[in-house]
Chains A and B, each alone.
Chain A
């Protein structure tokens, strides 16, 4: 999966949780949860969605790393099966 396809998948997963988000308006290196209104249930569902679509295991201890869209993409890219 190339970077563009990965980004599309991540944004589609985010849109499942927050349909109002326009992926083109997100700033990659700004904290995601400052740009999108996600509570902890939304956040968990977002990560579950990524896990189901991409087959990546995301331990809870790694949540703190996943602050920005750029970091989420980087994290997933390194762990794609």
Chain B
């Protein structure tokens, strides 16, 4: 018997709300398959399972709030015999087909999808069906009771408050437990800019690269020689990660931020990374991330230069052990070989964990990062 438990989707999460199941008893599932959608304070997340098996019982109905570590479902190993008496289904009727967005709206509006007739493909319940049902239910409510049609506004406010609480919890943990040290280095960007301009000339606008992609790839390449900055600190010891999954800090338009992982950055071309970064930003802002993206990051990279700051003093996201921050690329007076010139440059900072590394190694990492950014053609 295997138990599928609610994973922690980040240091700042201790509970979630199951929105929807993507599997049913009897289904064979494979490692990496999306089996459920769970709402966290940050987003509705597609939760992937991390082993193979056959679903036996779904232990949690949609709509229920559960703590991290709670058993969501039981499975049996592939090839194992099914227990003789079939597990009775939790609900008498088959669950209605309903889109995740509609399921979420139904919870917000307190509409029971079982009572809704779907008008979508194959009778599936759509967002519009749920909203229609909510309007009808409100119309049928006895007039004297408080005029509490559940408007979306309070839900939104709640999410923002929840997210702020979650960020506060993770950052308090970081500041309490991680002995940070901070380093910064001014890195010339003339070559990277010239290379990027040349690379983008003649490319259709849909295939152009952003400087952020060069910066991310350079970080991943530099990390190869400094494994003590790339990984997780858990239970009193550091586990270096075999690949660089960069958590990219993405601000949300309504406030707050998420830093989902861009996987295997060191092994991908700039073109591939550009496509994946575009997709990741889009899905983060739409609130549609996979659980692996929320848990796999081995280091965080933040770029606050676009907002005009010169240097970032980062707070490490536990259980990671380092954060790289890029400031604004701007023209600076520069002395090289005794001559003064004007060049574009950026201040790159490193916040790292003294339990795992020292300033000396951190400084060498920044030097290596600088070296990579001087040879953009090799990124």
Shortest CB–CB separation between residue A81 and chain B, in angstroms? 15
Interface residues of A in 8-31 (CB under 8 A from B): 18-20
Please tell me which one of the listed residues B205, B212, B253, B277 contacts residue A58 in the complex, with CB atoms under 8 A apart. B205
Please tell me which one of the listed residues B205, B212, B253 contacts residue A51 in the complex, with CB atoms under 8 A apart. B205
Interface residues of B in 192-237 (CB under 8 A from A): 197, 200-201, 205-206, 208, 210-212
A15 to B205, CA, bound (A): 20
Whether B136 sits at the interface, judged by CB under 8 Å, is: no
Contacts of B130 in A (CB 8 A): none
A39 to B277, CA, bound (A): 13
Tell me whether A37 and B253 are in contact (CB under 8 A): yes
Given known pairs A20-B253, A39-B306, A48-B206, the reply for A59 and B212 (CB within 8 Å) is: no
Given known pairs A18-B253, A51-B206, A60-B208, the reply for A40 and B306 (CB within 8 Å) is: yes
Tell me whether B212 and A40 are in contact (CB under 8 A): yes
Please tell me which one of the listed residues A18, A19, A37, A41 contacts residue B210 in the complex, with CB atoms under 8 A apart. A41
A19 to B253, CA, bound (A): 8
Whether B140 sits at the interface, judged by CB under 8 Å, is: no
A45 to B212, CA, bound (A): 14
Contacts of A18 in B (CB 8 A): 253
Closest B residue to A45 using CB positions: B278
Interface string of B249-269 (1 = CB under 8 A from A): 001011000000000000000
Closest A residue to B254 using CB positions: A20
Tell me whether A60 and B200 are in contact (CB under 8 A): yes
Interface string of A27-70 (1 = CB under 8 A from B): 00000000001011100110110010000011111000000000
Whether B301 sits at the interface, judged by CB under 8 Å, is: no
A19 to B254, CA, bound (A): 10
The dominant DSSP class at the B interface is helix
Whether B54 sits at the interface, judged by CB under 8 Å, is: no
Residues of A in contact (CB 8 Å), total 17
Whether B98 sits at the interface, judged by CB under 8 Å, is: no
Whether B281 sits at the interface, judged by CB under 8 Å, is: yes
Tell me whether B205 and A47 are in contact (CB under 8 A): yes
Contacts of A51 in B (CB 8 A): 205-206
Contacts of B208 in A (CB 8 A): 44, 60
Contacts of B278 in A (CB 8 A): 41, 45
Contacts of A19 in B (CB 8 A): 253
Contacts of A58 in B (CB 8 A): 205
Pick the most buried of B205, B254, B307: most chain A CB atoms within 10 A of its CB: B205
Shortest CB–CB separation between residue B105 and chain A, in angstroms? 17
Please tell me which one of the listed residues B205, B211, B254 contacts residue A40 in the complex, with CB atoms under 8 A apart. B211
Tell me whether A59 and B201 are in contact (CB under 8 A): yes
Please tell me which one of the listed residues A20, A37, A48 contacts residue B205 in the complex, with CB atoms under 8 A apart. A48
Shortest CB–CB separation between residue A35 and chain B, in angstroms? 14
Tell me whether A60 and B197 are in contact (CB under 8 A): yes
Closest B residue to A41 using CB positions: B281
Closest A residue to B196 using CB positions: A60
Could you tell me which B residues sit within 8 Å of A by CB distance?
A: 197, 200-201, 205-206, 208, 210-212, 251, 253-254, 277-278, 281, 306-307
The 8 closest A-B pairs by CB, nearest first: A39-B306, A60-B200, A51-B205, A40-B210, A48-B205, A41-B281, A48-B206, A58-B205
